[in-house]
Amino acid sequence: MGQGLRIDLSSHTSEIVPLDEEMAAKYLGGRGFGICLVKDHITKDPFDSDMPLVFSTGPLNNTGVYAAGRGSVISRSPLTGTIFDACFGGTFAYHLKRAGFDYLYIHGKSAAPIVLKIENDNVTFLPGDDLWGKTTLDAHDALKRDGATAVIGPAGENRVLFANIAIDGRYFAGRGGLGAVMGNKQLKGIVVTGNKRLNRADPKRIEAANKDILRLFKASSILYGPFGIRRLGTPALVDVISVRRMMPTGNFRETYFQDAHKFSGIELEKLEKKGLHGCHSCPIQCKKNTKEGSSAPEYETVSHFGALNRNNDLFSIVRSNDLCNRFGMDTISTASTLACFAEINSQNLSGEAICAMIQKIAYRNGEGEMLASGAARYAESRGRAEAAMTVKRLELPAYDPRGAYGMALAYGASGRGGCHLRAYPIGSEVLRKPVPTDRFSFAGKARLIKISEDINAAADSLLACKFGLLGASLEEYASALSGATGAEISHQDLLCIGERICLTERYLNSLNGFSRKDDYLPERFYREEGSSGADINVPPISRKAYDDALDRYYRARGCDSNGILEG
């Protein structure tokens, strides 16, 4: 659209600014725009009023390209201290683009709770007192008549360090605590709508690219197969990860949970509403809803509220997901923090107890006060730092790294902390697509992780769905982008942009003291074996082999031996 919108919450003023063409050429959109717009403030405290919070669209939003209608929110994480972006679905990015803006840059802090309303070029600052304290769903219901919404719940208001942002009431910018950044600014919600059209340079080329993308989606058994993501959502992974003996159990002390079948995709399907639901412009439609109308849990959520907490009660898992969504908290961090709490206190939390603890965390009541700071800070406060399963203080997701060495390196190297979405070697190591690799070896993994990070950085800036890349590739999206812009762009061009984004993020993190010391896994994974069975043995990871792989990764990235960029 050629312009962005800057909001100063301190003065309740707005300004339309032209899009920086050099930024667009070098960083594409989405995540790339976010790091450019935040970089000059990256050494500020995440709760400094001048720390920006950026909502960004991508160059394929509103072009009709399949699975490319997502949005991104970017700031510095209060949980990790790293530069952080969280990708989200829903229609918020679609409406922001239709309002005429490629991004929304928010800085300052309101003196009282506020709601920001954007309708085309008109910006209104509305009192938010009546909504302050409301759940994300209640806030969304109050605002949805005026457009797409981005709101926080009580957790964001109370600055829980892993608070999320709810989009359209059922999609979530989950990880890193950016909901707490929004809450610190006393910004309860944003509602946006518009009716501006986007000019596409070559609609016929977009149509051709879409045909290729859809054909590849349908050819992928992971996406469109009888037990794939389109039918079962991401919980389709439960059985696969369980059989591979790499499902985190009991706060990562084991890698197999014998009752995992009780919360598999097939079992969840029995509780779900029939029909397809999902992001704008996406044919995969992987989003699932319960029969009661709430969002059904994703794979990471069922695994962590299940196996990680030794909980086999499916109904409490679904309830835990719903509570986190309503209070506005990331499910991975919440479940992992509770598992850390259970280990330190030698407890086994029941499903009912887990649900009660979620509310305590959201409101910082009792034990929830310290747990609201995340697993790492809680464990440190109890003198048990080793019990926090985190990298860079970000709680690890539901793939035990002892069962997939590429995933182990991806966790450590990730610029935002323990994350499976910076690189996703599970594709080759477990799902065996597109090229199978030995999951118990670091051979070739440094280069694999580097390339995967570059691909995902480009996807996060196009704002194309990473699930879609399990079928299609950057080649098809490069063709679609060429059709949208009229400039010839290759998949190699996109890879170069992805690499630039990854290098910029690593540099920005180094300004806040991040280096090799922060690129390691918790010691548990180097010292303790996982679970064995079914002819599978899950040994601890060799620290020397990991060090060697990290060295190779740094060389591939152009870093020195301390993980700092050279030159």
pLDDT digits (tens, 9 = 90+) for 392-449: 999 999 999 999 999 999 999 999 999 999 999 998 898 877 778 999 999 999 999 9
Residues 356 and 422 in one domain: no
**What pLDDT does 409 receive?**
98
In a domain, 547, yes or no: yes
Q: What is the pLDDT of residues 491-513, one digit of tens each?
A: 999 999 999 999 999 999 999 99
Instruction: State the average pLDDT for the chain.
Output: 96
Full domain range(s) for residue 86: 3-193
Residues 433 and 562 in one domain: yes
Q: Which residues of 355-366 are buried (b: 16+ CB within 10 A; e: fewer)?
A: bebbeebbbbee
Residues 238 and 356 in one domain: yes
Q: What is the pLDDT of residues 268-280, one digit of tens each?
A: 999 999 888 888 8
Residues 310 and 237 in one domain: yes
The type of residue at 147 is G
Q: How far apart are CA 285 and CA 209, in angstroms?
A: 19
In Å, how far are 54, 142, 179 from 182, measured between CA atoms? 10, 18, 5
Band of the pLDDT at 3, cuts 50, 70, 90?
Answer: very high
Q: What is the pLDDT of residues 14-33, one digit of tens each?
A: 999 999 999 999 999 999 99
In a domain, 483, yes or no: no
**What pLDDT does 293 receive?**
87
Residues 252 and 173 in one domain: no
The answer to whether 227 and 283 have CB atoms below 8 angstroms apart is no
CATH number at residue 290: 1.10.569.10
CATH number at residue 82: 3.60.9.10
**What pLDDT does 212 receive?**
97
Residues 312 and 409 in one domain: no
pLDDT (average), residues 174-195: 97
Q: How far apart are CA 517 and CA 215, in angstroms?
A: 44
Q: Provide φ and ψ at 85, rounded to 5°.
A: -130, 145
Burial class (CB in 10 A: 0-12, 13-18, 19+), 19: middle
Residues 403 and 518 in one domain: yes
Query: For a pLDDT cut of 70, what percent of the chain falls above it?
Result: 99
Last residue of a domain, one of 154, 177, 193: 193
In a domain, 285, yes or no: yes
**What pLDDT does 191 receive?**
98
* Size (the chain), residues: 567
The helix-helix angle for 474-485 and 203-219 (nearest 10°) equals 160
Query: What order of strands is seen across the sheet that includes strand 171-173?
Result: 122-127, 114-119, 187-193, 148-151, 165-167, 171-173
Q: For residue 201, what are its two tokens?
A: 């340079």
CATH number at residue 519: 1.10.599.10
**What pLDDT does 536 receive?**
75
The answer to whether 344 and 336 have CB atoms below 8 angstroms apart is no
Residues 330 and 466 in one domain: no
**What pLDDT does 567 receive?**
63
In a domain, 123, yes or no: yes
**What pLDDT does 427 receive?**
86
Residues 13 and 132 in one domain: yes
> Other CB atoms closer than 10 Å to residue 547's CB: what's the count?
13
Residues 409 and 552 in one domain: yes
Band of the pLDDT at 344, cuts 50, 70, 90?
Answer: very high
Residues 500 and 403 in one domain: yes
In a domain, 205, yes or no: no
Query: Count of domains in the chain?
Result: 3
In a domain, 48, yes or no: yes
Q: How far apart are CA 132 and CA 445, in angstroms?
A: 47
Band of the pLDDT at 533, cuts 50, 70, 90?
Answer: low
Residues 54 and 92 in one domain: yes
Q: What is the pLDDT of residues 214-259, one digit of tens each?
A: 999 999 999 999 999 999 999 999 999 999 999 999 999 999 999 9
Q: What is the pLDDT of residues 102-148, one digit of tens each?
A: 999 999 999 999 999 999 999 999 999 999 999 999 999 999 999 99
In a domain, 212, yes or no: no
| pLDDT > 80? residue 328 | yes
In a domain, 388, yes or no: no
